[in-house]
């Protein structure tokens, strides 16, 4: 009898076991499902994903003004795990989303994040000037989602794979937006191709050189001979050379003009760096770029003229080179489009930069070139320093450090002054997003398109604000910016980097989760 009962019990267990297994699995599923649902609560999620002020990884952004490559649409952008997976036309249409997963911005503009390819963050070595933490916070607050850092004014300068490694180490866990890096072309590595190839193989997006003294002792100027050597290596890697295009030219006329005003007079500084300096440098450059044409010995190399100030002879040389098929491009900066020499107060060294800000007539010609497409893109040339080096009290334009602090204000400054000249939202996005992405070789950024990184700025073009002590500015030394005290249009509301909401209403995400961008 005991044997029968045992046999019957075993049969019962084997019959019930599958049911028990199913029930246990069912309970485990609901336990995990409830845990997952709990993780979606904003406060809980933020403790686990400190990269973002938003708790969703799959969500929709809706707006009546979304700037896309096909034009401005009213609709929504679907974002999942940091990428754009759909763009839907038709306001109020957002697929199978739940209501809480849609962020409706109404009339606010949704645009690709800005890409600033000319930024000096000065770290390592001169963090007191700026730094990865403060600089990328300022970028995020201004809707700039990607920057490319210059190889100077940090110390040591980025001129080898070893010094690039120092940059990467300094940036680790300290960048709120994505950051690429330019390497430096100097006489030492121009004449030693193994150093140059090591730097390019390590991932810099291209090289930067100066055709005049840079002001930094370990970043000496290059001659056209050094530039040719650098281009021969760059042709192999198909990356650009970024050139500060001024060559010192001295004439009796300019020396006489300098003698007429003291160092506090802005015209003294303006006359010390005339347009002929830019023209002389660009004339030498276009003598070389002919070899970058299809079939030429430097095919694959590209020359990019930094921060063009002269809108006359220098620009004409570039336009002519382009018409011949040379691989050459040019940028200008917001300060050349916003200011004119006539309005710069004597002694106000916040406005000192090189090349210098020229007169109002030159500024109008620059705007014309921008709108007609002769100037390819815009960049800030954000070049900060410490207050002592700006010599604000002395007001000595000849001795003060040159550079405009402006990274956070790229968008509102360009829009404020550009809309008076007919600048459209589409053109603004082209100049600050699509063209910089193409130039720097960052294929996954620059436009709101399926497959791209969800790098997005949300802003209100009509909203005006005063740049004063009450406005949250994240630059290291806000008082040094020439834009302080200005009334601007175009307030940035929120900034997304790869789907992470990194900036909202004056606050940043708890953690800096930007990534370094390295060329392959």
Number of structural domains found in the chain: 1
Per-residue pLDDT of the chain (520 residues; tens, 9 = 90+): 444 444 444 454 445 444 444 444 433 333 333 322 222 233 333 334 799 999 899 999 999 999 999 999 999 999 999 999 999 999 877 666 666 699 999 999 999 999 999 999 999 999 999 999 999 999 999 999 999 999 999 999 999 999 999 999 999 999 999 999 999 999 999 999 999 999 999 999 999 999 999 999 999 999 999 999 999 999 999 999 999 999 998 755 555 555 567 999 999 999 999 999 999 999 999 999 999 999 999 999 999 999 999 999 999 999 999 999 999 999 999 999 999 999 999 999 999 999 999 999 999 999 999 999 999 999 999 999 999 999 999 999 999 999 999 999 999 999 999 999 999 999 999 999 999 999 999 999 999 999 999 999 999 999 999 999 999 999 999 999 999 999 999 999 999 999 999 999 999 999 999 999 999 8
> What's the first-to-final CA gap in the chain, in angstroms?
78
- For 303, the domain range is 113-445+462-488
Q: Is residue 272 part of a domain?
A: yes
Q: What is the pLDDT of residue 250?
A: 77
- Residue 89 phi, psi (nearest 5): -85, 140
Q: Is residue 71 part of a domain?
A: no
Rounded to 5°, angle at Cα 327 from 325 and 329: 110
Tokens, residue 203: 């991932």
Q: Is residue 505 part of a domain?
A: no
Q: What is the pLDDT of residue 47?
A: 35
Q: Is residue 496 part of a domain?
A: no
Q: Is residue 440 part of a domain?
A: yes
The DSSP-derived string for 368-408 is: HHHHHTSS-EE---B----HHHHTTTTT-TTTSPP-B--GG
Q: Is residue 170 part of a domain?
A: yes
Q: Is residue 198 part of a domain?
A: yes
Residues 6+ apart with CB under 8 A from 154: 120, 121, 122, 123, 124, 125, 126, 167
Instruction: Find the CATH number of the domain harbouring 372.
Output: 3.20.20.140
Residue 407 CB-density burial (10 A; 0-12 exposed, 13-18 middle, 19+ buried) = buried
**Alpha carbons 151 and 493: distance in angstroms, whole number:** 31
Q: Is residue 52 part of a domain?
A: no
Helix (H) or strand (E) holding 332: strand 328-332
Q: Is there a contact between 147 and 119 (Cβ–Cβ < 8 Å)?
A: yes
């Amino acid at each position: 009898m005991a044997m029968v009962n045992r046999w019957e019990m075993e049969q019962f267990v084997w019959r019930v076991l599958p049911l028990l297994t199913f029930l246990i699995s069912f309970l485990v599923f609901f336990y995990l499902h409830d845990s997952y649902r709990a993780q979606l609560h904003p406060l809980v999620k933020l403790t686990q994903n400190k990269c973002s002020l938003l708790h969703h990884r799959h969500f929709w952004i809706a707006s009546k003004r979304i700037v896309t490559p096909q034009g401005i649409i009213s609709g929504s952008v679907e974002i999942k795990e940091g990428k754009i997976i759909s763009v839907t036309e038709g306001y109020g249409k957002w697929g199978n989303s739940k209501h809480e997963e849609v962020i409706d911005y109404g009339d606010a503009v949704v645009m690709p994040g800005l890409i600033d390819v000319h930024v000096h963050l000065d770290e390592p070595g001169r963090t007191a000037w700026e730094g990865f933490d403060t600089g990328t916070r300022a970028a995020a607050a201004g809707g700039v989602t990607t920057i490319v850092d210059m190889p100077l004014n940090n110390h040591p300068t980025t001129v080898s794979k070893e010094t690039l490694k120092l940059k990467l180490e300094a940036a680790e866990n300290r960048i709120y937006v994505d950051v690429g890096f330019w390497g430096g072309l100097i006489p030492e590595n121009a004449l030693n191709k193994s150093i140059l190839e090591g730097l390019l193989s390590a991932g810099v997006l291209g090289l930067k050189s100066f055709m005049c003294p840079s002001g930094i002792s370990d970043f000496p100027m290059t001659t056209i001979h050094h530039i040719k050597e650098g281009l021969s290596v760059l042709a192999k890697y198909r990356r650009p050379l970024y050139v500060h295009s001024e060559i010192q030219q001295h004439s009796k006329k300019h020396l006489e003009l300098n003698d007429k005003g003291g160092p506090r007079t802005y015209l003294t500084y303006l006359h010390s760096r005339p347009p002929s300096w830019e023209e002389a440098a660009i004339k030498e450059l276009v003598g070389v770029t002919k070899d970058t044409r299809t079939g030429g010995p430097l095919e694959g190399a590209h020359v990019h003229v930094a921060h063009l100030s002269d809108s006359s002879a220098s620009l004409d040389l570039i336009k002519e080179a382009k018409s011949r098929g040379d691989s050459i491009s040019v940028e200008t900066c917001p300060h050349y489009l916003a200011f004119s020499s006539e309005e710069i107060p004597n002694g106000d060294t916040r406005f000192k930069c090189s090349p210098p800000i020229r007169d109002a007539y030159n500024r109008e010609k620059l705007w014309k070139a921008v709108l007609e497409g002769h100037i390819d893109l815009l960049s800030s040339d954000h070049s900060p320093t410490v207050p002592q080096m700006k010599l604000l009290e002395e007001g000595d334009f000849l001795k003060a450090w040159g550079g405009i602090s402006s990274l956070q204000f790229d968008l509102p400054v360009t829009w404020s002054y550009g809309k008076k000249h007919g600048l459209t939202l589409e053109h603004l996005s082209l100049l600050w997003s699509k063209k910089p992405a193409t130039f720097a070789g960052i294929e996954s950024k620059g436009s709101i398109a399926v497959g791209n990184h969800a790098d997005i700025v949300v802003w209100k073009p009509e909203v005006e604000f005063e740049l004063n002590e009450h406005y949250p500015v994240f630059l290291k030394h806000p008082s040094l910016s020439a834009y302080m005290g200005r009334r601007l249009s175009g307030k940035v509301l929120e900034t997304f980097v790869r789907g992470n909401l990194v900036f909202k209403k004056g606050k940043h995400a708890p953690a800096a989760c930007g990534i370094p961008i390295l060329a392959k």
